[in-house]
Amino acid sequence: MSSDSQRGEGPRALVVHEWFASIGGSENVANALRQHFEGSDLLCLWRDEHVSIPGAGKVTQTLLSARPFRGRKILCLPLMPLIWRWTSARTHGAEVVIVSSHLFAHHVAVPRGTPKLVYVHTPARYIWEPDFDNRGQNPLIRIASSLLKPLDRWRASEATELAANSEFVRARIKRTWGRDSRVIYPPVDVDEIRATADWSLGLSHAEKAALNELPIDFVLGASRFIPYKRLDLAIRAGELSGMPVVVAGAGPEEARLRALAAQNTVPVHFVISPSNRLLRALYQRAALYIFPPVEDFGIMPVESIAAGTPVVANGHGGASESVVEGLTGSHFVPDDDESLLHAIGRSLSLDRTKISGQASRFSRQRFDDEVARWVEDHVTRESTFHE
């Protein structure tokens, strides 16, 4: 079952996702799954009014979409497993239920005999590995975790099959839920990025002016300005290498990062809330992109690779899979200046003309093909669901 024939001709699918409060990595995957099964219905705990889900069939929300629950994740956390069990996929008449889960969406009840395929962004870090997520330090969550772990493991055992978004998450699934899984990397817009040789040509006048004020070669750090993203290490990379730094993004850490930058001996430039076009132009202009956090996968390193720019990435986490040492970048140990400086040197020596082609293994087409095979393993085109 190819991805082309899959659309519009495959089994009737219901896509389940935690919630839609913004559009991030997991929401993009949920939308890609929904688009793969054209016209499929969508089930989520809640969807904020400003979030658009174009082309979806019926969108069903739960009672947590009502005030005062909507958006209050910590308050709702103990209720979510119960809500998912009360929320049945039965009324959608789906032949297969595809779940996009990073918390408890995989707890959803499905009709007997209907395959439940779970795409796992991660087992809930709040619960299983709070050291990776400060929200897990909340006293309410710490109390709830001891009760939720056995239930979460049980519900994970009900899935027909699990797919992890990286080998890093696959190992976490094995460690926490005791189950094996296949790996299907998330879709990244690599073909779109590679199709434009110079993203600066499509910028607005203001964006072009901002880009032209930047140095020719620079270290790029780009993400949300929050502590675990470790953008301080992008600034440190510039100080160690003597190269100017561009920090792109937005968030509550901006004041701290600016104060840190003021202490540097090399220039540090800030680009606040860049558009996708400007971010892609920054990738293309940068000498290298530095990615310090431990992420389950990491979309932005793949975008940089698609733009032909080498990546210096944390050697622990999902980015270590997309960033191939000596081919698309290099790995380093955070808070080790010698490791960081050597990684910068190795990345700068790479042949940039050979980098962007390596992004194909994270393309949307590859994702569609692998999802089609995953579903085909459990649902035949001729099968029909009967309640």
Q: According to DSSP H, which parts of the chain are helical?
A: 3-6, 25-36, 73-76, 80-86, 125-128, 139-158, 167-177, 190-194, 205-212, 232-241, 254-262, 276-285, 299-306, 319-322, 337-348, 364-376
| Total-model pTM | 0.90
Contact 252, 224 (CB under 8 A): no
DSSP tally for the chain: helices H, then strands E = 16, 13
Go through the domains of the chain in sequence order and give each one's CATH number. 3-187+363-376 (3.40.50.2000), 190-360 (3.40.50.2000)
pLDDT of residue 133: 64
pLDDT, one tens digit per residue, over 105-159 is 999 999 889 999 999 999 998 889 877 666 656 677 777 788 889 999 999 999 9
Alpha carbon distance 69, 77 (integer Å): 10
pLDDT, one tens digit per residue, over 157-215 is 999 999 999 999 999 999 999 999 999 999 999 999 999 999 999 999 999 999 999 99
Alpha carbon distance 62, 90 (integer Å): 14
Secondary structure letter of residue 153 according to DSSP: H
